[in-house]
Amino acid sequence: MVEPRITSIRIYSGPERKKPASGDRKVVKGVEYVRRPHIIQAGLHKGAWLHSGSRPCYRWIPVSECPQIKRELEHAELMARRKAEKESQAAADE
């Protein structure tokens, strides 16, 4: 009887999962969060990005507390309404 032999081994290296990036979103207990750079809110360096070891620090902020995300959502809703209005006018004109 011939015994099987291992003739080659392949080892793959790389990230096991996608690394989190700014703008990523997650939902925890029904609340949607967005990943944003940690920015100093008060004091002499107000508005500066917080860094640790030459890398920026990030934090998860609820979407309801992030004004930029609110504006993006409102803009997307506005554009969807305008598109729907144009389509309804085009259908009425025909």
pLDDT tens, 24-43? 888 899 988 888 887 777 77
| pTM for this entry | 0.49
Residue 3 has pLDDT above 80, yes or no: yes
pLDDT score of 63:
82
Under a CB-based contact definition with an 8 Å cutoff, are residues 48 and 39 in contact? yes
In 3D space, the residue among 76, 58, 56, 80 whose CA is nearest the CA of residue 68 turns out to be 76
69 dihedral zone (left: phi>0; alpha: psi -120 to 50; beta): alpha
Report the percent of the chain where pLDDT is more than 70: 97
